[in-house]
Structure 1
Amino acid sequence: MTAAAPTIVATCGGLTPGTWTDAVYGPLIEHAVSLARVSGRRPRVTHVNTAGGDQRQIEGTELEAARLAGVDAGHLRLFPHPNVEDVRAHLLSQDVVWVSGGSLVNLLAVWRAHGLDAVVREAWEAGVVLAGGSAGALCWHSGGTTSSFGPQIGAVPDGLGLLPGSLGVHYDSDPNRRVAHRAAVAAGVLPDGYALDEGVGLVYEGTRLVEVIAEQPGRFAWRVERDTASADPSSPGVRESRIVPRTLTSTRPSDNPHSEEA
């Protein structure tokens, strides 16, 4: 294994639109791959789409994006059954496990049914970089807010707990999420934690936050803490602090085969 320490990259990001192909690895995925510190061979990345029900139609796009990024990629599916004989051995052989968005509640239930909660912890402790966007970011925390139950945003207090604290996602693009997340922290349903605008990510070594990153300027992360003495009428019982991320610079070559870089 290659990561310098147990590493998690929790984001509101993933694939981004390509200029020639359907999609490419966005800067947040690229950064997760770089943290695996692979040299002398192509990085190995497994995409896990449990939260979306392992829909096959996205897999070709992900594999093409991985190829363009110089990555050897595959998929771990759990519907209708695992697609590899030994899930533990497969994940421990990877450099990065990237978990995509969808239903956080369904992801947690299916992973626990298959014992994947213990396997990803072992992989993390062994140096496999765990990463993902939306539900694929929420799952690593003690809890978070999600639309898994329907249109109303609800709190899920029983995440995998690899990372302490709670997480909120899509903070700038969905006003309902911000309101619901503030309320859950204010009420003590969720512990203090962080929230992410679109295109922003948190990098953890062990359980320590070491960096906040973003795909473009003007997006932020937020520290969200319970504060019963808060005088802010817009968020009673909670205090928010804005965190300005470091903007990433993509090193990916163009996906246009007719460009000089391709």
Structure 2
Amino acid sequence: MTPRLDTESDDGELLALLASGGDLRSFLGDLVHLAARQVPAAVACGLTLTRDSTGVTVASTGPLAQQADERQYAADTGPCLESMRTGTVVRVDDMATEDRWTPFPARAAELGVRSSLSLPLVVEGRNSGALNLYATEPRVFSADDEATAADWAQQATGALTVALRIADSDERTESLIGGLETRATIGQAVGLLMAQERCTADRAFDLLRIASQRRNVKLRDVAAGVVTAFEEGLADRRERW
């Protein structure tokens, strides 16, 4: 059975990733590599965000995922775009025999892609993107693979939700695509709370906001306190070791 995200080792790796802070592009870049590694059949992974009527790849494991995504954008059709537009999981068992989304399947096969799995990213009730896994062999993605990939799509959705919630610009989606940067301290604190409280990104952000209102302290300062407490806890554990 494919390893699931809720194993102890995966939790530790995700905690380290979330606690590293930094910008959203780096987070999503690490996330697609981890997603591809956790789905053994996948050789490449890309993450698409909607832009205008099509999509744009904001993170990928390399040229194969990037090119497979871009050939769908050029044709304005494909499993990635269908998943993004409909909010449904789309699986392709064999590009060589697939008759949907012409001419994309033939173009994907030219790249060496034989099967794919796309999962929607629904942010604040809107179809906002898709996580796309690609394989060079036909019929390799199982139900277990789909469940594992869904966990990673949920993590991407959480990160995007937080970035939207703390963005200053009204043009929030364009801000994400153009800069893809969050306020590092707030993003880091949300990640830590998600791991510690086993909660969603929305709930973690609400915990920070409620604490800010009750203490009459800026949200950033509350977040800094969460991060500092975590770092001090790590330092104490290292001393004991």
> The TM-score by the shorter chain falls in which range?
0.3 to 0.5
**So what's the TM-score if we normalise by structure 2?**
0.38
- Larger strand percent: 1
**So what's the TM-score if we normalise by structure 1?**
0.36
Q: Which structure has the larger Rg?
A: 2
- Larger helix percent: 2
